[in-house]
């Protein structure tokens, strides 16, 4: 098949997107597909060779959301069979490129416009899953103009609490706040990446994640970071996190978490593949955190790890994503 691999982009998660893209490119070539690489943030100025494409240090000065429309006017989009989207975060995992491809009548991998635009909005996702009976930590959503309500919001949620941008991934702009002295810094750190800040009750417990492939919940992975939280460094640095797959969780609780993951995934109209994150508290109550509609696919990523636990190799996983997307 003629496949366009869409990677890079202009979100703060650009580097992770390129790492995911490099792994997927290798798999697509090994599977015998004809692959064109497109970084939408570079417009019509695409790198001439594969190594340059996947080097995040190159082309930095050219990266811009203004280039996206030019990129989608490239000739290769006129006769491709599928676009494999591996853009993380804004302008990729938020329905933007999906809506452009829908207008062009071009097929692409993963969820469509609506689920992507829902799931990038952490607060809206929590509203929806809570409606469907999935437990999630209490939260408040503040805009950058709501500074006057900042301390009262924290008092209502209670300390410790988590501050994070409402529409970012990879724990970018993320803070654990344990005292009132840390509140303003955490608020402004999150505002560097979004106009809205989610303040969420901190749940002490085990970090668990459920990968979804089609209509199936794959084995749960427990994430044990070296830091107190599973932050950016722990996510993307070898040796900074221990992964247990399948997680050592009571079978009844594991089935409940997998079921809640599927309820959340389906409630938000997600399709094909994704990842649903939870915290299991000290009383063995699972709390939903968020859905990743385009999760990482690097050598440290969780979806490939969960697939491997049920005998699905990385290349088979990529094939399955393509097959489900074309349906």
User: Is-catalytic flag, 277?
Assistant: yes
CA distance 172 to 80: 34
Q: Clarify whether 250 is annotated catalytic.
A: no
Burial of 209 (0-12, 13-18, 19+ CB in 10 A): buried
User: What are 1's two structure tokens?
Assistant: 């098949």
- Reference 136, options 247, 309, 289; nearest CA is 289
Six-digit token pair at 31?
Answer: 């599977």
13 annotated active-site: yes
Which one of 277, 287, 301, 325 is the catalytic residue?
A: 277
Query: Residue 292 catalytic?
Result: yes
Tokens linked to 19: 């790492």
Six token digits for residue 12 = 């703060």
Told to judge if 236 belongs to the known catalytic residues of this protein, a careful annotator would answer yes
Rounded to 5°, the CA angle 80-62-66 comes to 65
Based on the residue annotation, tell me whether 232 is a catalytic residue of this protein: no
Q: How far apart are the C-alpha atoms of 211 and 237, rounded to whole Å?
A: 21
Find out whether 240 and 225 touch, Cβ atoms under 8 Å. yes
Catalytic residue among 25, 68, 236, 287: 236
Active-site hit among 116, 292, 301, 325: 292
Q: How far apart are CA 101 and CA 260, in angstroms?
A: 31
At 46, list the tokens: 């695409």
Return the structure tokens found at 310. Answer: 């049920």
Containing 265, the helix (H) or strand (E) segment is helix 251-267
Q: Which position among 8, 9, 11, 13 bears the catalytic label? A: 13
| Active-site hit among 194, 275, 287, 301 | 275
Residues carrying an active site annotation: 13, 170, 236, 275, 277, 290, 292, 296
């Amino acid at each position: 098949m003629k496949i366009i691999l869409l990677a890079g982009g202009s979100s703060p998660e650009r580097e992770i997107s390129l790492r995911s893209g490099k792994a997927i490119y290798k798999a697509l070539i090994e599977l015998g597909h004809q692959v064109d690489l497109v970084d939408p943030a570079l417009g019509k100025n695409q790198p001439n060779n594969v190594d340059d494409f996947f080097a995040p240090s190159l082309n930095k000065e050219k990266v811009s959301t203004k280039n996206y429309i030019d990129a989608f006017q490239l000739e290769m989009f006129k006769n491709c069979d599928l676009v494999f989207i591996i853009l993380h975060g804004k302008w990729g995992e938020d329905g933007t490129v999906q809506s452009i491809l829908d207008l062009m009548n071009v097929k692409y991998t993963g969820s469509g416009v609506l689920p992507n635009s829902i799931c990038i909005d952490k607060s809206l996702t929590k509203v929806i899953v809570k409606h469907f009976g999935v437990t999630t930590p209490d939260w408040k959503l503040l805009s950058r103009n709501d500074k006057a309500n900042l301390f009262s919001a924290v008092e209502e949620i209670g300390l410790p609490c988590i501050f994070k941008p409402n529409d970012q991934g990879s724990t970018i702009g993320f803070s654990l706040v344990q005292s009132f002295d840390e509140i303003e810094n955490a608020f402004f750190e999150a505002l560097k990446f979004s106009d809205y800040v989610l303040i969420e009750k901190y749940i002490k417990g085990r970090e668990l994640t459920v990968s979804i492939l089609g209509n199936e919940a794959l084995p749960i992975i427990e994430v044990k970071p070296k830091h107190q939280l599973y932050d950016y460094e722990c996510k993307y640095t070898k040796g900074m996190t221990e992964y247990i797959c399948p997680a050592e969780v009571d079978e009844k609780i594991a089935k409940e978490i997998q079921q809640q993951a599927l309820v959340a995934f389906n409630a938000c109209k997600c399709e094909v593949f994704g990842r649903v994150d939870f915290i299991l508290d000290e009383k063995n109550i699972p709390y939903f955190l968020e859905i990743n509609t385009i999760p990482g696919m690097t050598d440290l990523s969780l979806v490939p790890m969960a697939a491997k636990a049920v005998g699905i190799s990385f290349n088979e996983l990529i094939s399955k994503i393509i097959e489900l997307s074309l349906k």
